[in-house]
Amino acid sequence: MSRVLWTVWVLGAVTNLSKEEAPDQASSLSCDPTGICDGRSRSLSSIPAGLTAAVRSLDLSNNEIASISDNDLRGCVNLKALKLASNGITTIEEESFVSLQSLEHLDLSYNLLSNLSSFWFRPLSSLKFLNLLGNLYKSLGETPLFSQLTNLRILKVGNIYHFTELQEKDFAGLTFLEELEIDASNLQRYEPKSLKSIQNISHLALRMKQPVLLLEIFVDLSSSLKHLELRDTHLNTFRFSEASISETNTLIKKWTFRNVKVTDGSFSEIVKLLNYISGVSEVEFEDCTLDGLGDFDISSEDKIKSIGGIEILTVRRLYIPYFYSFYDMSSIYSLTVEVKRITVESSKVFLVPCSLSQHLKSLEYLDLSDNLMLEEYLRNSACEHAWPLLQTLILRQNRLKSLEKTGETLLTLKNLTNLDISKNNYVSMPETCQWPEKLKYLNLSNTRIHSVTPCIPWTLEILDISNNNLDSFSLILPQLKELYISENKLKTLPDASFLPMLRVMRISRNIISTFSKEQLESFHTLEALDAGGNHFLCSCEFLSFTQEQRALVQILIDWPENYWCDSPFSVRGRRVRDAHLPASECHRAALVSAVGSVLLLLLLLTGVLCHRCHGLWYLKMMWAWLQAKRKPRKAPPRDLCYDAFVSYSEHDAYWVENVMVQELEHFDPPFRLCLHKRDFIPGKWIIDNIIDSIEKSHKTIFVLSENFVKSEWCKYELDFSHFRLFDENNDAAILILLEPIEKKAIPQRFCKLRKIMNTKTYLEWPTDETQQEGFWLNLRTAVKS
């Protein structure tokens, strides 16, 4: 509850802050709900008004603030970080920071402060970081500035032009600093013991152009400093004097020379200094210039002592103007006997002489990254008895081109276990290679290879072939524990049976579309899998597997952030964890079965209904009717061949053929009747015969009886006549009731017959002979009409 109230209060306070600011600055300060306010590079001329206790961090760097008054920050009682760098501040009133007891980070660098006041820092008991670099002050004042800052851990003071002296009282009260940076580029005066008051300094970065006062400073720091970094110094005139150093046992473990210029002579002096003192185990040169030919004057005594205890030597981006006239450096070979780790990066090294390699008897780690090494020169460097204890060799980003030659050249390194030859231009890989027998780690990333072969040693435990052009991986590596194969073109996971000991596999950013539970379970020892950044086909099986297997989350690295669906289109761009497909896709088999069952039931039901309701008959009739519809609706008079077509049941044939035909065809004038037995064309489809006969007849006579309604062909003939009757709206049909028929005996499909019998007059055959003459008269009249 209290947390919710606090959040509400912060939001309210920040909102009020934005409302209370001056109109011209209201939009220049943006604060988030946690109280972090950003006002960088907003052309502010003063600290915004109305700052409250809600502000936790305030960054006003790169503005035009010239002064800070006592009231500007009065309300910021909870402020933790205040950044005012690069503003042009000239004055700070004494009580400007009086309410900032919680402040931990203060940056006043690169302003125009010519005087520093101890009153500013007295209230800042919680301060851990203070940056005063790049101002205009000449010294740190007449009274100790930092005596109240008991929690201070990082301090940066000085400037490149104006800061000229360090005094004994400057750092009074400071007992421990993690980092101290002093820009003393123009230092002219150093009072002894000025830095000695600090009892423990982890890292001192000292910028000074000339080394005149370097030894005096070194003496004060020898018992309290662990890492000395010298920046931007011209050591051309540096001379070491044993008389200036009384304590040879120092606390300093590491020396760093950054952007330092050295000559042959001054390098020799540095060697003398490092030989004289003890305890230094690491020396580092970064972005340095060696202005000489390697003609070092190292005395026999210095050679014998070696560089007392130095085990780590690092050289990065060393520039040698007269590189091609450089000596072989044989004068310093003896100084390297005890060195265990050497790094020489980006320094245009193309050869390590065999004699130097043989002197590096303690070397365990050698990094020659980003240089000019070729196989031919590497053979000279890795000569017999060279680097006898070497375990790790890094030749990343050189000029190596042949894996076969590289492996053969390194066979002399009997203890080599780790080899990094990444970022070389190998392109292809031979079928077989020779490698040092103890090799366990091999890095072939970024070498443009497009396939892997048994050239890779089977003894490997770690293999990195990332960022190449591989589309498959089928090597048998029985001892491999870690495989890094990201950024290739693989479409599926490697075969687990080839990698029985695999624990870690990184196969991200390939073109893998899916992997299954069975595939992962086949890697019996797998503990971590990074498969993010692939183009996943989010099928129902894949989604079900990845979303429901909780144990999978413990194996997958970067889950779920780097796992996205690429297809199908409906879930493209969604995280695999959040993607869901419709049930119709995920249960397709069940859906097909259900639909099939329903259709089968519908077919069965339709069949039953067709049988009960004569649906098949209707279909047949519909087809015949459609056939009839394509013909002319009514034949022209010249095409009428008959006066009437007679439709009757075979059971009534006697009455039709012997009674009705005799009465009509032998009458004067005679009527011409169409009978199917007599007039249908042989070989012609019976349906076409019926339709043609009806269409070529003036009338259609239906001889109705119980036999008629049971006859299939009579049904066709009646229906075709009905169609004609319905289409043409005439009286083409003549009904003769040969015998009484009950209406319920007439099938439902004879709905038109029922309608005609209800709405039209039909002729009824009389059993009384006296009435039969009238029947024939009426029939002849109906046929003629």
Over residues 673-685, mean pLDDT? 83
Over residues 744-761, mean pLDDT? 66
Paired tokens of 626: 């459609």
Identify the top-confidence range among 120-124, 568-572, 646-650, 671-675: 120-124
* 566-574 contacts, C-beta under 8 A, 24 or more apart: 566/513, 566/535, 566/536, 566/537, 566/538, 567/513, 567/535, 567/537, 567/538, 568/537, 568/538, 571/538, 574/538
482 forms beta bridges with 462, 504
Taking Cα atoms as reference points, which of 281, 351, 273, 265 lies closest to residue 313? 281
Instruction: Write down all domains in the chain, each with its CATH number in brackets.
Output: 30-198 (3.80.10.10), 458-583 (3.80.10.10), 642-784 (3.40.50.10140)
Three-state DSSP class for residue 268:
helix
Q: Are 657 and 634 in contact (CB under 8 A)?
A: no
Amino acid 703: pLDDT: 86
Identify the band that residue 300 occupies on the pLDDT scale cut at 50, 70 and 90: very low
How many CA atoms, within 13 angstroms, populate the side-chain half-sphere of residue 330?
Answer: 5
Identify the top-confidence range among 524-533, 616-625, 737-746: 524-533
Q: Are 614 and 749 in contact (CB under 8 A)?
A: yes
How does DSSP assign 770-785, residue by residue? GGHHHHHHHHHHHHH-
Amino acid 595: pLDDT: 80
In this model, does residue 24 exceed pLDDT 50?
no
Taking Cα atoms as reference points, which of 237, 241, 190 lies closest to residue 216? 190
Amino acid 34: pLDDT: 93
Amino acid 626: pLDDT: 65
CA-to-CA dists, residue 718 to 104, 657, 750, 751, angstroms: 107, 19, 9, 11
Over residues 740-759, mean pLDDT? 67
Q: For residue range 75-118, what is the model confidence (pLDDT) as tens digits? A: 999 999 999 999 999 999 999 999 999 999 999 999 999 999 99
Q: Are 269 and 297 in contact (CB under 8 A)?
A: no
Identify the band that residue 342 occupies on the pLDDT scale cut at 50, 70 and 90: very high
In this model, does residue 379 exceed pLDDT 90?
yes
Query: Omega before 568 cis (within 30°)?
Result: yes
Q: Are 714 and 648 in contact (CB under 8 A)?
A: yes
In this model, does residue 390 exceed pLDDT 90?
yes
Over residues 385-390, mean pLDDT? 95
Paired tokens of 643: 């006066």
Identify the band that residue 15 occupies on the pLDDT scale cut at 50, 70 and 90: very low
Give the span between the Cα atoms of 550 and 574, in whole angstroms.
20
Q: What is the pTM of this model?
A: 0.71
Over residues 576-598, mean pLDDT? 76
CA-to-CA dists, residue 17 to 12, 27, 69, 75, 157, angstroms: 8, 11, 19, 11, 34
Q: For residue range 240-284, what is the model confidence (pLDDT) as tens digits? A: 876 566 666 678 899 999 999 999 888 888 888 887 777 888 999
Over residues 445-469, mean pLDDT? 95
- Residue 671 has a CB neighbour count (10 Å cut-off) of 20
In this model, does residue 18 exceed pLDDT 50?
no
The whole-chain average pLDDT of the chain stands at 85
Three-state DSSP class for residue 722:
helix
Q: For residue range 118-161, what is the model confidence (pLDDT) as tens digits? A: 999 999 999 999 999 999 999 998 899 999 999 999 999 999 99
